[in-house]
Structure 1
């Protein structure tokens, strides 16, 4: 048994690889970067871009299952770049799985595929894809998810896992970004506090591994998507301040109204587009929506079909995060 993990150098990807290795499963990775520590772990590390069909075809050869985790998760940039990685890259993975007779494809999606800017409160997987998106990331991830689910067949069983705001020790994405903005004095609460869901890294990994173990042609999970969270939504400001507290930073107390934030974001996006700036803008309408609307989800389906239960509570996860930051300051 050999399993491929795309995006193995990222936070979730490397955590899935570690879990597979702990189960003595031969693991291969496909990453854009070269990560020596993957080879030190005993991983068959391949360097390549999922947007390159031949690189994907070569990486998938000889594998029995694929965890497709690689994605462009930035909040800014040309649509073509997001499409190349998130959508075309996924189509390349599907094609390679079919070409090499791979039986299982576990796709890492996002709850943002059902978030068009309005509040999302306690919805389950019956929630429809919105008519429009406020950013290229969720738009291209939605296209990719639909392709993965449509590809489900007796020969290739597919499933999509939608983890929301993955955090914990080893985070190389969200937490460092929040810390950097806080230190620059650029973090503000937007509007009234809203309930949001998050998921601790170990719990997100557990959901992916549960899908891998249960997936098959006649499995209840085949061809379906699943929300994965802590199952204990909390107010967004509390989560952000807990992350800052874990890094030894003071809480954010300043608040700006939603209307003002959206107006500023619209102007900023206009300037960035006009000047064709590649750097991430300080604020976008997508970020405003994420910070000012509720987005929490019903995970009953994951509990029922995946046997998913968050083994690490939010409180315990934060304690682990604080301990990690003490040893690896951000």
Structure 2
């Protein structure tokens, strides 16, 4: 159950209409469920069909962010928009990322202006300010780098800046930068770690001492609710970006091994230097580019640098101006993830016996 101040914040949104782009995804769905629990009128915009969310009471608009007309139809009549949908990943052409992340966001912004939306909460990423070096305790004054190391971070940075620049008296905007969101039902970080570990392809990159912040899913969803509420209660919040995490920086590979343990897998024991990982990543990028493969390489230079550097953030602004406080610790989150894996395994065994 969310803390009392989060429940108060979400109850304030229950009197209007809310749209969540990417509402069927990992983070988007968590936001949708909080809104529905507060009896808010919720719509989702997604490319796939989510009958389970419709059964919960959400209205679904099945469309692509690049379709400006469809986006405008979904936004019409809404008071609050949570723009969570994006093209993530580290492989693909610049256009592959630019169209959904920048053009799609521009379509959302235009629809919000024309539709009279009061609040827009944009899900950004800490990678928008990552320049390849350690980020230790950095705050929101950290500048955008002159050069980004991935198309994802580059396009998210463009979109974030346009969202924040659009904030004004009629449409108030805010951007959140949650870092490494994980937990039960994760369809990105956790399953990829587990798949690589089971295949024997997971290696520690660097000396293993780099510390990172992560964000448990409930905390990330709460932050979005609080951000929407802050746009009404705190004038300072509008037009600003905020780092979001659990505020518990730990050695990256300690966290990776703890997540693997929740699925009953052994820890990562073999490693590779950062330099070698970058070299291999560069070679793989060239090879995959030559054959025009759409599959993501096992390693890229961006991933190598991400895995070998520290990324942890000063949450003072989010705490002070949004009232954000992570209420699910990493250790508690790991317990919940272990329970989820156990429940899922029991369900799978029951299905196998029934066949």
Q: Normalization by structure 1: what TM-score? A: 0.98
Distance 1:101 1:218 in 2: 20
Deviations 1:221-250 (A, max 9, x none): 000000011111000001111111111111
CA distance in 1, matches of 2:185, 2:234: 36
The answer on 1:282 being equivalent to 2:303 is: no
Measured in 1, the distance between the counterparts of 2:236 and 2:310 equals: 30
- Counterpart of 1:204? 220
Select which of 317, 324, 329 maps to 2:340.
324
More helix by share: 2
Given that residues 196 and 295 in structure 1 are in contact (C-alpha distance below 8 angstroms), is that contact kept between their aligned partners in structure 2? yes
Residues 133 and 139 of structure 1 are in contact (CA less than 8 Å); yes or no, is this contact kept in structure 2?
Answer: yes
**In the aligned structure 2, how far is the partner of 1:218 from the partner of 1:301?**
12
From 95, 101, 105, the equivalent of 1:90 is 105
The match for 1:9 is 24
- 5+ residue gaps, structure 1, are none
Q: State how far apart, in whole Å, the 2-side matches of 1:217 and 1:49 are.
A: 33
Q: How many angstroms apart in 1 are the aligned matches of 2:237 and 2:168?
A: 12
Moved over 4 A (4+): none
Residue 181 (structure 1) shift: 1.1
Any idea what the Cα deviations from partners look like across 1:274-300, whole Å, max 9, x if unmatched? Answer: 110001111011110110001110000
For 1:87 and 1:230, locate their aligned partners in 2 and report how far apart those are by CA, in whole Å.
28
2 CA distance for matches of 1:55 and 1:210?
28
Deviation at 1:32, TM superposition (A): 0.7
Output one character per residue of 1:65-90: Cα deviation in whole Å (capped at 9) or x when no partner.
10000011121111111001111111
CA distance in 1, matches of 2:269, 2:293: 30
Cα distance in structure 1, aligned partners of 2:198 and 2:70: 39
CA-CA distance at 1:44 after TM superposition? 0.3
Give the aligned partner of residue 186 of structure 1: 201
1:240 match: 256
Match of 1:297 in 2: 313
Q: Which residue of 2 aligns with 1:259?
A: 275
Q: How many angstroms apart in 2 are the aligned matches of 1:185 and 1:49?
A: 37
* Residue in 1 that maps onto 2:353: none
Counterpart CA distance in 2 for 1:322 and 1:257 is 31
CA deviation map 1:8-56 (0-9, x unaligned)? 1110000000000111110000001111111111100110011111111
Which deviates the most, 17-26 or 212-221?
212-221
**Cα deviations across residues 152-198 of structure 1 (Å, max 9, x unaligned)?**
00010000011000011111111111111111111100111201000
Q: How does 1:37-186 map to 2 (within 5 A)?
A: 37-186=52-201
Instruction: Give 2:244's match in structure 1, choosing from 223, 228, 248.
Output: 228
Q: 1:218 offset after TM fit, Å?
A: 6.1
2:330 maps to what in 1? 314
Distance (whole Å) between structure 2 residues aligned to residue 200 and residue 217 of structure 1: 26
Give the Cα–Cα distance (whole angstroms) in 1 for the partners of residues 198 and 301 of structure 2. 22
Unaligned runs of at least 5 residues, structure 2 = 1-15, 349-355
Out of 14, 20, 27, the position equivalent to 2:35 is 20
CA distance in 2, matches of 1:101, 1:327: 44
Q: Deviations over 1:231-274 (max 9, x none)?
A: 11000001111111111111101010111111100000000111
Aligned alpha-carbon RMSD (Å): 1.1
Alignment partners' CA distance in 1, 2:67 and 2:199: 37
Alpha-carbon distance in structure 2 between the residues aligned to 1:246 and 1:128? 37
Whole-angstrom CA distance in 2 between matches of 1:145 and 1:187: 32
Displacement of 1:217: 8.8
